[in-house]
Amino acid sequence: MDTLNPRILVAALAVYSLVGCATVPKPRMCEAELSQRERSFPTPDTWFTLLLHGFDAKKGVAPRPPVDCAGAPVAWEEPSADECREAGPQPLPLPPKERLTEEDLMLETTRANQRLVWVITRRFSNGEGLGPVALVETTPKGFVVRAMGSLRGMTQNVRMRMEHVGGTDVLVAEGDTCTQEEPQVCRRAARILPLRNGRFFSEAVSGEDRACLGAAWFPLSREQVLELPNGWHRRFELTSTLTFGADAVSIQEQVTVSDSDPKQPAIPERLFRRAQNDRKLKVEENVLVGSAPSLWTRMVEQQLVAGAKVLPDKPTAGHDDKATGLAKKPATPAHQGGKAAVAQDQP
């Protein structure tokens, strides 16, 4: 792997300027002076050195715990059950890799001279990864970090983009997690991080009263099986879409609920209920405000209050096997069993 020429990494104060007709934050969080060849053909080590303070290119490692190039710890804290209506994912951290490789680097071009760069420094048992994420601009002298933060998200089939909602730029990061068993089932989820004063913020979603509704984590497909007090299994399946408008993010959710008797596995599942709902997420000056808890949360809560128990999820693929952000085969639909007695309602 190519070694880098001497470069200068500088932490600076945020400075704002106008580009065209839109107001865009233009801080110079960190920068690297590179040769023309390095600018045109950057290696993974180029990005690791740019975003990680103290990265050792020869050994492929950064000091632990990692710190980003602007001096902030690479850290993440999900909302917990005692402070939010719905807790964020609480997976177990996997052992750190001995060295970073190209599998730990996610790149997305946003325009000709600008990229979103995510370096994954830690992975988790549910298929998520954590690491510094940056909006990087190519200049005549090298690369300049215009925005910086920490991102935790799914690490397969990663797609990142910037959206503009309610006068605020937001980072949208989508990715998959897949089961180990065959046929493999992949489920997709999105993270939303507002960009404030040159930093990507991992904010929770609050209600109008500022009570926490949950993490800014949005499963686009999700499945959970509950065991009912009578021993039957009740399967919840979610599909949702995010639509980004000028004033708010629209979240369209549909939940399908099916019942089955584990003592009679040959009998197809029976459709118990189907519900759908639209809710809004506003990006205000200093907080994300949701119009309501997720449909999934409300429906599952009803079952738990009635005595149902959550059954363990299926194990996900190991991070060594499924760590890249390259395009993969389309995911298998989560469930294709027979259904009957269709009913629809709107909570």
Q: Bigger pLDDT: 109 or 343? A: 109
Assess if residue 241 is contained within a domain.
Answer: yes
Assess if residue 151 is contained within a domain.
Answer: yes
Tokens for 330, please give them: 């389309």
Helix (H, G, I), strand (E, B) or coil at 271: strand
Residue 301 to residue 269: CA distance in whole angstroms: 22
Tokens for 211, please give them: 């009570």
Read off the pLDDT band of 42 (50, 70, 90).
very high
Q: How many domains does the chain have?
A: 1
User: φ, ψ for residue 128 (rounded to 5)?
Assistant: -85, 160
Angle at 121 between CA 120 and CA 127, to 5 degrees: 60
pLDDT at 142 over 90: yes
Amino acid identity for residue 345 in this structure: D
The model's pTM is 0.81
Q: What is the pLDDT of residue 264?
A: 95
Average pLDDT over residues 106-134: 96
Tokens for 278, please give them: 């639209």
Give percent helix, percent strand, percent coil of the chain, each to the nearest 5: 10, 45, 45
Assess if residue 44 is contained within a domain.
Answer: yes
Closest CA to 67 of 46, 51, 47: 51
Read off the pLDDT band of 19 (50, 70, 90).
very low
CB atoms within 10 A of CB 252: 14
Residue 9 to residue 134: CA distance in whole angstroms: 14
Assess if residue 287 is contained within a domain.
Answer: yes
| Mean pLDDT, rounded, of the chain | 85
Domain that holds residue 160: 16-345
Q: What is the C-alpha radius of gyration for the chain, rounded to an integer number of angstroms? A: 22
pLDDT at 343 over 50: no
49-104 pLDDT, tens digit each: 999 999 999 999 999 999 999 999 999 988 888 889 888 888 999 999 999 999 99
Helix (H, G, I), strand (E, B) or coil at 172: strand
Q: What is the pLDDT of residue 331?
A: 41
Q: What is the pLDDT of residue 18?
A: 34
Q: Among residues of the chain, what percentage have pLDDT more than 90?
A: 71
Q: What is the pLDDT of residue 180?
A: 80
Assess if residue 278 is contained within a domain.
Answer: yes
Assess if residue 4 is contained within a domain.
Answer: no
Assess if residue 5 is contained within a domain.
Answer: no
Assess if residue 6 is contained within a domain.
Answer: no
179-227 pLDDT, tens digit each: 887 788 899 999 999 999 999 999 999 999 999 999 999 999 999 999 9
Tokens for 181, please give them: 């068993």
